[in-house]
Amino acid sequence: MRPLQVMQRRRSAFVSVVGHGAFIALLTLVGTRPEPASNESPLIMAELITALEPAATTAPLVPEAPKAPAEEAAPAPQPPTAELDTTAPPPPPPPQREAEAEPVAPLEPATQPPIEQLAEIDEPASEPPVPQSPAESEPLTAGPAAETVVDDTPRRSFASSEEQSVRRKLSSWTGSFETANAMPTMTWRDDGQEYTAVLKRSAAAEAMGMEQLLVELTTERDGERLVTELRMTRLAFSNFGQFVNRWDPDVGLNDDVIDGRFHSNTAVTISRTGRATPVFGGKVTIANGDVVAMADGFVATHPMHLNKRKLFPAGLETHTRRIELPKRAATLEAVAGPDNSQRFAHDTALTFHDDGTVSWRELDGPAEARRALGGEPFYLMADENVELEVSGTVNGKVLVYTPNRIVVTGDIRYAADPRTPQADDYLGLVAERTVEIAEPDVTGSGDLEVFASIYARQRFVVRDFNSRRSGTLIVHGSLTAGTLSASEPRFATRVEFDDRLTTMRAPGFPLSDRYELDSTSGEWRVLDTR
């Protein structure tokens, strides 16, 4: 505000206060003479205002009126005058002062809107606003009255053993939701106490999001009915650094590095030759079996031959519950349309480009086509029995899907390094049958890098794995397979988990049937006491 406007506002407030004081004094002096009070007070009020502020009319305040109720009310003393009753005897002086002061007081609490909302009300009040000074108006937007109401519901803490028990129960729960039963209920007893969990499914907000369960957990303790809310997240298969449905007993982990979580639904074979030994960077879980150690091709019978504490620094858990592969890896009809997808009816080679496009050509034809991927999830889908070959640099969010086979023919990288904060490139390679690494004369010698989340429902295959040593196969993302072929001696393998896959996934990437506890408040709320 300009200085002139500030000075005018202060003079207006001063006139309002002095005018009210003079008016109340006049009523007190008049006493029981109601007739003269109604005739004299306007004249005296006008004289007082004229004497105190003769120059007020030289700078009209009309433009400032909409800015604050306090400025608008200053030149209008009508509300107090309208309340005088000239036909009835006035009340005694003390009650009269209380009645006179009533228009200046704030609204009754029962009808007053929340303090923080008063500044947002645009409609005029049913009665003229009461004159206020700037100091009186300040509490409308600040001060203790603007504090929100605190929930004073009694709270009870989780006992540490109780929280661990609930976490184990919910984390190990595996199931799927039927559309007709969106809110199933689980009930169990632990240490003599009964728990009931009502589960409500919360679908992923987008194709790259994670589905969740909202859990309302109730129990009774010491005569009190308690409730708490928890949240569970449905795991995508890309949450695992490596996931294997059935470990091939003829294949052993040897010169392999696996970052992130590792899970197998069957026993895993560790093959130790010379100094080579696998490295696990995340927790290892095995559903149906244990770790089988082999030394130079023979099963080790002495437990000292396998130091599990050293081999599994993040922990090893065996005989966990199975995580089933879905019967169909992907159903994309609901998310893929003509604007965000491309279908292929014949075997096709796909090449990604760092300018955000993808080009393709049919394997039996020379013609090539190209299309921009755009900023939203994009789906490249093949018909039944169609093979897709893939290579290049991905700049976008893409899912490549085929009911048949995907063949990696060269390096696949992201335009932006996924380990940097601004990275937003994602690729999913999903095949109902196999994902395969092409022969050495196709991929070339040296290391081969594949930046992607890979899902091979039947098998992940390294072709000509018995050929001479080429380098390291590096999968930066995740690898899920029904089973795995050998990769050595052609490739040592290294799976580097993409940390972004903890909370995100490639568009439409398959979800598992496992839900894990994501968060807990750590306390109960008391619903009622019995």
Tokens of 176: 């799927």
Q: Please, what is the Cα angle at 68 between 50 and 109, to 5 degrees?
A: 110
Closest Cα to residue 232, out of 511, 454, 477?
511
Bridge partners (DSSP) listed for residue 229: 216
In order of 294, 373, 448, 479, 508, the CA distances from 387 in angstroms are 37, 21, 21, 19, 20
Average per-residue pLDDT for the chain: 77
Distance CA 482, CA 399 (A): 19
Check if the beta carbon of residue 408 is closer than 8 Å to that of residue 436.
Answer: yes
In order of 17, 169, 245, 429, 433, the CA distances from 505 in angstroms are 66, 26, 20, 12, 21
Residue 34 has pLDDT above 80, yes or no: no
Closest Cα to residue 299, out of 250, 334, 265, 342?
250
Distance CA 520, CA 214 (A): 11
Q: For residue range 117-136, list pLDDT tens digits in order.
A: 433 434 444 444 444 444 44
Burial 254-281 (b: 16+ CB within 10 A, else e): bbbbbbbbbbbbbbbbbbbeeeebbebb
Decide which of 529 and 413 is more confident: 413
Q: Which helix (H) or strand (E) holds 12?
A: helix 3-30
Distance CA 146, CA 152 (A): 18
- Please report, for the chain, the start and end positions of each structural domain, with discontinuous segments joined by +: 3-146, 155-238+516-529, 246-324, 328-509
Q: For residue range 42-67, list pLDDT tens digits in order.
A: 444 444 344 444 444 444 434 444 44
Q: For residue range 157-199, list pLDDT tens digits in order.
A: 877 778 788 887 887 666 655 544 567 888 889 888 899 999 8
Decide which of 463 and 10 is more confident: 463
Burial 127-165 (b: 16+ CB within 10 A, else e): eeebbbbeeebeebeeeeeeeeeeeeeeeeebeeebbeb
Residue 299's pLDDT band (boundaries 50, 70, 90)?
Answer: low
Which residues 6+ apart lie within 8 Å of 168 measured at CB? none
Token look-up 């295959």 returns 461
pLDDT (average), residues 71-100: 46
Tokens of 493: 């393998």
Residue 357's pLDDT band (boundaries 50, 70, 90)?
Answer: very high
How much is the pLDDT for 336?
Answer: 86
Say which range, 309-318, 456-465, 479-488, has the weakest mean pLDDT: 309-318
Decide which of 503 and 35 is more confident: 503
Residue 300 has pLDDT above 80, yes or no: no
Q: For residue range 331-356, list pLDDT tens digits in order.
A: 787 788 889 999 999 999 999 999 99
Residue 18 has pLDDT above 70, yes or no: no
Burial class (CB in 10 A: 0-12, 13-18, 19+), 199: buried
How much is the pLDDT for 516?
Answer: 85
DSSP 69: H
pLDDT (average), residues 24-34: 48
How much is the pLDDT for 213?
Answer: 86
